[in-house]
Amino acid sequence: MVAVVVHGPPWFFLLDAALAFFGLAAAMVIVLLSMKALNLTKERKFLYFTIAFTLTGMGLFVRSVTNVIVFLIIPYVDKVMSSGLRDFRGTFFFVGYGLFIVCSIIGYVLLAVSTMKIREPRITILLTVLVLLLLGLSSSYFFAYYLTAITLLGFITFHVCKNCLERKSKSAFLVFFSFLLQFVAHIAFVLESVHPMFYYFGSIALLGGYGVLLTALANVLVGRR
């Protein structure tokens, strides 16, 4: 039996599941747009971008389903039928969140690679292997995940900030603001050990980040700069 060590209050995980679905919607719109771009241009940067957001979306979906199973379905089934499923909550949580972490961290690596215009596939593979080793060998995979995500998001945010200053367009600004919110959200998740309020703050910032990203995509789709 694996014990569930939750970061954040358990009731909040159901709200977190809804939040993850919101992020999933943004990721799916980006996947559709980058697949269109990939079909038209056949450029590798769009391939990385498509895979990055597919993985991010998959990660969010797994996280959402895990939260619903662990914090809603299992407690309910166990209460009604005394099935003993409660003993497997830890395993579900570990597998679900493990998958979420692997998917989203590879997604962030590919996103960093495509936004920073790294053309060499060997560097992409090296970065992915290093990040996975770091997570796999860490004794606290949540902490290692958040710190790695903060580092990668920091680089991505810096790049989209530079891009926003160069382009001076509304969409570029919204993309920058969205990544800035996601970056801040991950910092708040790390600070959750200092005070639980940071977890709520992080979740709100993340929700805002996904919302702003969806607005940026809507802007692109309707052709407003």
Partner 1 sequence: MNRRNRLEIIHDMLRVTNDLGGKILPTHLLYKSNLSHERMKGYIEELKQKQLLMEMTEKDKIFFAITEQGRRFLMQYKQLTEFAEAFGL
Point out which residues bind partner 1 (CB under 8 A): 33-34, 36-37, 40-41, 45-46, 49, 114-115, 117, 159-160, 162-163, 166-167, 169, 171-172, 174-175, 216-217, 219-221, 223, 225
Q: How far is the CB of 9 from partner 1 (least distance, A)?
A: 35
Q: Give the residue with the Cβ less far from partner 1, 122 or 168.
A: 168
Give the tokens for residue 179.
């990544």
Pairwise CA distance, residues 84 & 211, whole Å: 39
Q: Each residue of 110-126: b (16+ CB within 10 Å) or e?
A: bbbbbbeebeeeeebee
Pairwise CA distance, residues 32 & 113, whole Å: 19
Q: Give the residue with the Cβ less far from partner 1, 188 or 220.
A: 220
Q: How far is the CB of 59 from partner 1 (least distance, A)?
A: 19
Q: How far is the CB of 209 from partner 1 (least distance, A)?
A: 14
Pairwise CA distance, residues 115 & 176, whole Å: 12
Q: How far is the CB of 29 from partner 1 (least distance, A)?
A: 10
Q: How far is the CB of 55 from partner 1 (least distance, A)?
A: 16
CB atoms within 10 A of CB 163: 15
The closest of 183, 176, 174 to 153, measured between CA atoms, is 183
Under a CB-based contact definition with an 8 Å cutoff, are residues 21 and 212 in contact? no
Q: Give the residue with the Cβ less far from partner 1, 102 or 156.
A: 156
Q: Give the residue with the Cβ less far from partner 1, 86 or 170.
A: 170
Q: Give the residue with the Cβ less far from partner 1, 14 or 37.
A: 37
